[in-house]
């Protein structure tokens, strides 16, 4: 089993803000002004495809990051209250290189017993107790919120790329 690739053991808004800044710089270089374009720009920068797919996911699961030897796949639930936020969250997992489950492990059919276990308090507490998973989720969620705010701001102020460059200049 591999170790988590999360580099920090504590929550750091600066680390997340730096990642958002880096993603916005790549977006500006690629003239990407929508989140889907940002995902494509990050894939190009990483020289690794990021595919966006839709699927019927388990109860309470909005999205998943699946990795394959040659690409990453962001799977979004078919009915989402906020597709953009979930996409940004899963992109955060990719940007931070968080450990995820290899594709074959997440695509196995889940039995009723497994679903019940996963939804139980015991399973929830196990996830909370696992600091790396908790940190990874916090980073991805904070990244999504910050990135979505930045995208809304520069798209509401006119030409997105010029606003991005202006924001970069101001720090």
pLDDT of residue 87: 97
Q: Are 53 and 125 contacting, i.e. CB atoms less than 8 angstroms apart?
A: no
Predicted local distance difference test score (pLDDT) of residue 58: 85
Dihedrals phi, psi of 145, to nearest 5 degrees: -65, -45
Both tokens assigned to 103: 């594709």
Whole-angstrom Cα distance, residue 132 to residue 17?
19
Beta strands in 6-116 (DSSP E): 49-55, 63-67, 71-77
Which pair of tokens denotes residue 90?
């899963």
- For residue 42, the model assigns a pLDDT of 97
At 146 the pLDDT is 96
Is the domain 2-157 a CATH 1.10.10.2910 member?
Answer: yes
State residue 4's pLDDT score: 43
User: What's the chain's Rg over C-alpha atoms?
Assistant: 17
**What are the per-10-residue average pLDDT scores of the chain (171 residues)?**
49 94 92 94 97 90 91 91 93 91 50 52 51 87 95 71 56 53
User: Strand 49-55 to strand 63-67: parallel, antiparallel, or no bridges (unpaired)?
Assistant: unpaired
In which residue are the tokens 């997992």 written?
A: 93
- The per-residue pLDDT for 1 is 42
pTM of the model: 0.73
* pLDDT given for residue 79 in this prediction: 83
Cα gap 15→92, rounded to integer Å? 12
Distance CA 121, CA 63 (A): 21
pLDDT at residue 54, rounded to an integer: 94
């Amino acid at each position: 089993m591999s170790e988590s690739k999360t580099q920090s053991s504590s929550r750091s808004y600066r680390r997340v803000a730096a990642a958002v800044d880096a993603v916005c710089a790549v977006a500006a270089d690629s003239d990407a002004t929508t989140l889907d374009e940002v995902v494509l720009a990050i894939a190009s920068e990483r020289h690794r495809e990021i595919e966006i797919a839709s699927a019927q996911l388990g109860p309470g699961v909005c999205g998943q990051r699946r990795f394959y030897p040659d690409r990453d796949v962001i799977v979004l639930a078919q009915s989402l209250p906020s597709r953009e936020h979930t996409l940004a969250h899963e992109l955060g997992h990719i940007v931070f290189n968080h450990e995820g489950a290899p594709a074959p492990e997440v695509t196995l059919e889940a039995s009723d017993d497994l679903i019940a276990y996963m939804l139980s308090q015991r399973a929830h507490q196990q996830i909370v107790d696992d600091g790396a998973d908790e940190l990874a989720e916090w980073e991805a969620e904070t990244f999504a919120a910050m990135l979505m705010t930045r995208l809304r701001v520069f798209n509401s102020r006119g030409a997105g790329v010029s606003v991005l460059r202006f924001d970069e200049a101001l720090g």
